Amino acid sequence: MSYHNGSVWPHDTALCAMGLSRYGDRDGAARITAALFEAAVQMDMRLPELFCGFPRSAGEPPVPYPVACMPQAWAAGSVFMLLQACLGVTVDGAAHEVRIRDPHLPVGIDHLRIDNLAVGDARVSLKFDRAGRLVHVKSHTADPTIRVRRR
């Protein structure tokens, strides 16, 4: 058990998922997101600053690091980067544009809604639905200047 050797830091893990996503590996980003989601479920949806990186046993929760802060702000914030990495979402507020490229949903999450996503001074809602290996996206906004582009 070590603070820096082999421990899992959700915020660093989210950075890794974003890196995979930027290189086009949305499946890898989705696998990382699913694993952290499974860990969060075992921790009452309150990600700690870090937890131990011991091998997992079936049905067993992650091993908590004894003095980790929980919840931890940067761990809680990592969820947004993980979603961005999986869904391939980029927001350009100045251009009033949302770009979605090759969205993937983590295993166990077949439907996901993001309501009132800020895009500049406007808002958009996005709905992601899995259909086999594809993820379909629907958007809704009352502001006609908002563009949602799927690539």
Give pLDDT, residue 8.
Answer: 95
Give pLDDT, residue 71.
Answer: 86
Q: Considering the entire predicted model, what is its pTM?
A: 0.88
User: What are 149's two structure tokens?
Assistant: 């582009």
Q: Which residues pair with 112 in a beta bridge?
A: 128
Give pLDDT, residue 55.
Answer: 87
Q: How far apart are CA 122 and CA 34, in angstroms?
A: 30
Helix (H) or strand (E) holding 90: strand 89-92
CA torsion through residues 73, 119, 103, 25, sign: negative
Give pLDDT, residue 58.
Answer: 81
Give pLDDT, residue 56.
Answer: 79
Give pLDDT, residue 33.
Answer: 96
Specify whether the CB–CB gap between 150 and 100 falls below 8 A: yes
Q: Flag residues of the chain having pLDDT under 50.
A: none
Domain 88-151 carries which CATH code? 2.60.420
pLDDT in tens, 74-83: 999 999 999 9
Helix (H) or strand (E) holding 139: strand 134-140
Domain boundaries, the chain: 1-87, 88-151
